[in-house]
Structure 1
Amino acid sequence: MATRRLTDAFLLLRNNSIQNRQLLAEQELDELADDRMALVSGISLDPEAAIGVTKRSPPKWVDGVDEIQYDVGRIKQKMKELASLHDQHLNRPTLDDSSEQEHAIEITAQEITQLFHRCQRAVQALPGRARRARSDQEERLLRNVVASLAQALQELSASFRRAQSGYLRRMKNREERSQHFFDTAVPLVDDGDDNTLYDRGFTDDQLVLVEQNTLMVEEREREIRQIVQSISDLNEIFRDLGAMIVEQGTVLDRIDYNVEQSCIKTKDGLKQLHKAEQYQKKNRKMLVILILFVVIIVLIVVLISVKSR
């Protein structure tokens, strides 16, 4: 009875859940530290207390991130399986029957391509799963996560393209060597039918060899067409992910620019505060001098009145 090994999937989901809880706890701590009203309301800024006080549910897009990371892990595992199948297929004897192996390669490549398409759609749908009334910090976090996932998928798709192109190149070289062997061993004819072959004196073994060669060439052509189609699909995914990374990079550059401008304005504001503080100190001195002057005048008036009596 065949069973599925779900240990890796369980460990991946458990680790992602722990990381998400830590990430949300740090995010909530930063929000509490930045919010001055927390001091008024008496909320403690202690990490343990903050974790205990804030019990908000994580954003919906966090579940989408977990699903994408799980699919990325499946893509990596499938790519390893496909590389092993490629090596087995290319290292087999030329006349060995490998229809099951070729079918397994075809199915695995299709599964990887489908996973790439699903991950691409999931990454593009992440911003739509976020809540509308989200904070600026959550918005920046979401953009960074989308850019990181898009870049990881782009690197994986590029690696898969290289693997498929390398397999196609090795298979073509192998078929060229095999074709050269058949051309030199059996002088095939361009036109004619089986009767012509019999008339030229071919034996049954040679006819079987010719038929096997023809079937093998047709099978190789079909595999090559499938690989080319797979590479074409990956090129489309690669372009979409590249555009997404450029878009997210532009957003991040804009955020960096805004942060720099905020730092500059903060420094200018600090200078203005120092100037205001100096003015306030001078005003205090003038106020003290004025009070002393009034007191002196009062004392002089009192002294004059006392002497006049």
Structure 2
Amino acid sequence: MATRNRTTVYRKHRDACKSARAPLSDSFGGPVIEMVSGSFTQSNHSSYAPLSTNDPGTSSSNDAFTIGLPPAWVDDSEEITFNIQKVRDKMGELAKAHSKALMPTFGDNRGDHRVVEMLTHEITDLLRKSEKRLHNLSTREGPSEESNLRKNVQRSLATDLQSLSMELRRKQSTYLKRLQQQKEVLYQFFHAS
């Protein structure tokens, strides 16, 4: 995965926001939190201004800056991203469980097969929950400025979910085929004589 260093852009944006008094995200319709600069370690909590949706230009403090809250759809996208990471971790566990369940043993390995079933069920539930949240993400309304951003995030998350779902189906299909082959070999071995 390719990455790029956005530190200089972030610093320019941060410095511009410190010098400007306009809210960062007020165009998204979210509430604005005003904070008066000062030491955060002071025990006097009166340096914080109350949560307001008023124009920050009317603030009584000369050195206040504003922080806009992100749009509501960001929560959905963050939860989907978290679920995608959990699914990837569970897929790794599932691959190990498949290998263990397919190892030839002299005893009963039904416990290994139950672990495979449980992991498959957990992964499927996470994928379903994520798909529902993705649907919520697509039905959210907002300003047209953020519409393209929301659609791009939605497409990216949908692509990730689709690839994980296809990978799960492929792994399960391979596992079930190998399990069937093992059963056929055992049947032939015991009934060949």
Which residue does the alignment assign to 1:139?
A: 147
**Which consecutive aligned stretches of 4+ in structure 1 deviate over 4 angstroms post-superposition?**
none
| Structure 2: 5+ residue stretches without partners | 1-5, 25-66
Structure with more helix by fraction: 1
Q: What residue identity is the alignment partner of 2:121?
A: Q
Instruction: Report SS of the residue matched to 1:182.
Output: helix
Relative to structure 1, the CA distance from residue 62 to residue 74 in structure 2 (aligned partners, 3 Å threshold; closer, same or farther) is same
Q: Is the 8 A contact 1:90 1:171 kept in 2?
A: yes
86, 89, 96: which one aligns with 2:98: 86
What's the offset of the Cα at 1:49? 4.0
1:131 CA displacement: 4.9
**1:111-260 counterparts in 2 under 5 A?**
111-128=122-139, 130-132=140-142, 134=143, 136-185=144-193
Structure 2 CA distance for aligned equivalents of residues 103 and 48 of structure 1: 52
- Determine the structure 2 residue equivalent to 1:285: none
Provide the C-alpha distance between the structure 2 equivalents of 1:51 and 1:174, rounded to a whole number of angstroms: 65
2:72 pairs with one of 46, 60, 64: 60
Q: Residue 172 of structure 1 aligns to which amino acid in structure 2? A: Q
Secondary structure at 2:192 match in 1: helix
Measured after TM superposition, the shift of residue 184 of structure 1 is 1.8
Gap runs ≥5 in structure 1: 1-21, 27-45, 186-309
- The whole-number CA distance in structure 1 between the counterparts of 2:77 and 2:16 is 25
Q: Distance in 1 between matches of 2:14 and 2:133?
A: 34
Larger Rg: 1
1:272-283 equivalences under 5 Å are none
| Mapped partners of 1:86, 1:47: distance in 2 | 49
Structure 1 residue 98: Cα displacement: 1.4
Q: Give the structure 1 partner of residue 111 of structure 2.
A: 100
Q: Distance in 1 between matches of 2:150 and 2:101?
A: 43
Determine what percentage of the aligned residue pairs are the same residue. 31
CA contact (8 A) 1:60 1:131 kept: no
Q: CA deviation at 1:51?
A: 2.9
Q: CA RMSD in A?
A: 1.9
1:47 Cα deviation after fit: 2.4
CA distance in 1, matches of 2:133, 2:94: 24
| Residues 33-48 of structure 1 aligned to structure 2 (within 5 Å) | 47-48=13-14
Whether contact under 8 Å (1:59, 1:131) holds in the other structure is no
After TM superposition, the score normalised by the length of structure 1 is: 0.42
Whole-Å separation in 1 of the counterparts to 2:130 and 2:89: 15
The answer on whether the counterparts of 1:82 and 1:105 sit within 8 Å (CA) in structure 2 is yes
The residue type equivalent to 2:150 in the other structure is L
Instruction: Provide the rounded CA distance (Å) in 2 between the counterparts of 1:49 and 1:182.
Output: 77
For residues 13-28 of structure 1, the aligned pairs below 5 Å read none
Which letter does structure 1 place at the counterpart of 2:111?
Answer: E
- Equivalent residue, structure 2, for 1:75: 87
Could you say which structure has the higher strand fraction? 2
Mapped partners of 2:121, 2:13: distance in 1: 48
Aligned pair count?
139
Structure 2 distance, partners of 1:72, 1:152, is 8
CA distance in 1: counterparts of 2:99 and 2:14, whole angstroms: 53
Aligned partners of 2:188 and 2:84: how far apart in 1? 42
SS of 1:59's equivalent? coil
1:125-160 CA-to-partner distances (Å, cap 9, x unmatched) read 0133x454x1x3310000111111101111111111
